[in-house]
Amino acid sequence: MHKAILSLMKHQRFFILLLLIFTVSTVGCSPGHVGGNEIAFLRDGHLWTIDPDGANAFAVFADNNTPVVGYSWSPTHQILSFRTLDADFAKTSAAKHLSSNPITSLPGDLPSTLNTIGIDGGSPIPIIFSNTVLRNSNAWWNTTGSRLIYREEITAATPSPNEVFWWVSQNDQPGGIARKLLPNSFSIPSIAPDNSLALGISKQGLFTSTLNGTDVHYISHSILPGHPLFATLERALWQPAHDHPKILYALESSVPPQQGASNTGSITVKLILNDLHGHTTALAACTCTQFAWAPDGNHIIYSNGPTYTIYNLNDGSSFSIDGEDGSIPYWSPDSLFLLLDGLHSLVLVQVNSQRKQLLLHDSIAFTGIVSSSAAIPGVNALLQPISNSLWA
């Protein structure tokens, strides 16, 4: 019964998304969606696209021997990157019983090939070939869509954020012939809005490097307090849509969280804004489980259990709403709307009016409360960024 309910929720999310694309049509035409408003989805290991009105369903890639297990749109909406299982691994029992995120349906790092393909299909370009002794993550695009970043690790090794490789590949170069290795980082490096630098966190401190992995510059020269944090806090993020971007990251703190914050058993952290000129600002102290920029670079969202707070950098104001604990936040490209995608609910937030609307929910009541053991992954958990926005 529970699986049937989850399956129904997935189908309902799809149709709600169609409705959102119609009702928020300006979002579909904003930067990042130039070239079409097709929706991509997976069915039985095949990669499909479809128009918002349900017409023109098209199988972009289909191979029963190498099923697709993840994908992401390029910023131009003209190219898709996708991950296919290694053909030999796909025959194993482990491949037939993959563990996936219950909300996104994305599995973790696997022996797989990373590909790019045009929206009209054709022959994909394998930017890295599969190897059963290596596991790859999904690939994520830079802002211009010319390069992709992905994680690679040895299959036999115990997953550790300090023992993985981060690669940058061009979107049209096969077999990794032009890929570049970035410096070691606890989590996925963040790429600057102008694509000039990558930002990461390591045992040596907070650093930047070129996308070729050279010219490493340390912003701090020692490991950040509390790092490596658990997966969704172990990140340093460039401010988007700004010519002189600042960076956002979390530090473990002994300062009590703000009044009214939920305590899910998580550690207390400070969210730090660093202008890269020696000045830092503590924006909030919270028992956060995740944080992220809005696409406009003027808002930040962070969560304390079932409480989601949106902070406005322009005037320092903030407001909070209640949602389902563990929901994944998806910003619309214009930063006017926010979707909170939970296991049992889908909530739409209108940022300017500070109003929320419950779009979907199932028959299982959610309380927004989880046990501390469920709330805190191990400190060595690897960050699994969400590669596909519901708005894409």
Q: Domain check: are 370 and 234 in the same one?
A: yes
Has residue 203 been placed in a domain? no
- Provide the β-strand partners of residue 169: 148
Q: What pTM did the predictor assign?
A: 0.83
Q: Domain check: are 41 and 151 in the same one?
A: yes
Q: Domain check: are 67 and 133 in the same one?
A: yes
Q: Which residues contact 84 (CB under 8 A, 6 or more apart)?
A: 61, 63, 66, 67, 68, 69, 112, 113, 115, 130
Q: Domain check: are 245 and 156 in the same one?
A: no
The Cα-based distances of 36 to 120, 372, 389 in angstroms read 12, 43, 15
Has residue 207 been placed in a domain? no
Last residue of a domain, one of 113, 146, 181: 181
Q: Domain check: are 173 and 253 in the same one?
A: no
Has residue 112 been placed in a domain? yes
Q: Domain check: are 11 and 59 in the same one?
A: no
Has residue 228 been placed in a domain? yes
Determine if residue 117 is left, alpha or beta; phi over 0 gives left, psi from -120 to 50 gives alpha, anything else beta.
Answer: beta
Amino acid at 265: G
Q: Domain check: are 352 and 308 in the same one?
A: yes
CATH number at residue 149: 2.130.10.120
Last residue of a domain, one of 181, 215, 245: 181
Backbone angles phi, psi at 225, to 5 degrees: -55, 125
Domain ranges, residue 248? 1-30+224-392
CA dihedral (13, 19, 22, 25) in degrees, to 10, reads -50
Q: Domain check: are 238 and 374 in the same one?
A: yes
Has residue 212 been placed in a domain? no
- Provide the β-strand partners of residue 76: none
Q: Tell me: the pLDDT tens digits for 248-293?
A: 999 998 765 555 444 445 689 999 999 999 999 999 999 988 999 9
Q: Domain check: are 167 and 97 in the same one?
A: yes
Has residue 380 been placed in a domain? yes
Has residue 186 been placed in a domain? no
Q: Domain check: are 161 and 236 in the same one?
A: no
Query: What pLDDT score was predicted for residue 24?
Result: 43
pLDDT digit string (tens) for the chain, length 392 residues: 555 545 555 555 655 555 554 444 333 332 323 346 888 999 999 999 998 888 999 999 999 999 999 999 999 899 999 999 999 999 999 999 999 888 778 899 999 999 999 999 999 999 999 999 999 999 999 989 999 999 999 988 777 777 899 999 999 999 999 899 999 999 889 999 999 999 999 999 999 999 999 999 999 999 999 999 887 899 999 999 999 999 999 999 876 555 544 444 568 999 999 999 999 999 999 998 899 999 999 999 999 989 999 999 999 999 999 999 989 999 998 999 999 998 899 999 999 999 999 988 887 744 443 333 333 333 333 444 555 566 65
Last residue of a domain, one of 146, 181, 216: 181
What stretch of H or E contains 17? Answer: helix 2-23
Q: Domain check: are 240 and 384 in the same one?
A: yes
Whole-number Å distance between alpha carbons of 95 and 27: 37
* Summary mean pLDDT of the chain: 84
Q: Which two tokens stand for residue 10?
A: 């997935």
Whole-number Å distance between alpha carbons of 229 and 270: 12
Backbone angles phi, psi at 31, to 5 degrees: -50, 140
Q: Tell me: the pLDDT tens digits for 197-221?
A: 999 999 999 999 999 999 999 999 9
Has residue 343 been placed in a domain? yes
The Cα-based distances of 127 to 16, 84, 168, 323 in angstroms read 34, 12, 10, 39
Whole-number Å distance between alpha carbons of 219 and 236: 12
Look at residue 306 and give its three-state secondary structure. coil
Q: What's the domain count of the chain?
A: 2
Q: Tell me: the pLDDT tens digits for 222-247?
A: 999 999 988 789 999 999 999 999 99
Whole-number Å distance between alpha carbons of 343 and 361: 9
Q: Domain check: are 333 and 264 in the same one?
A: yes
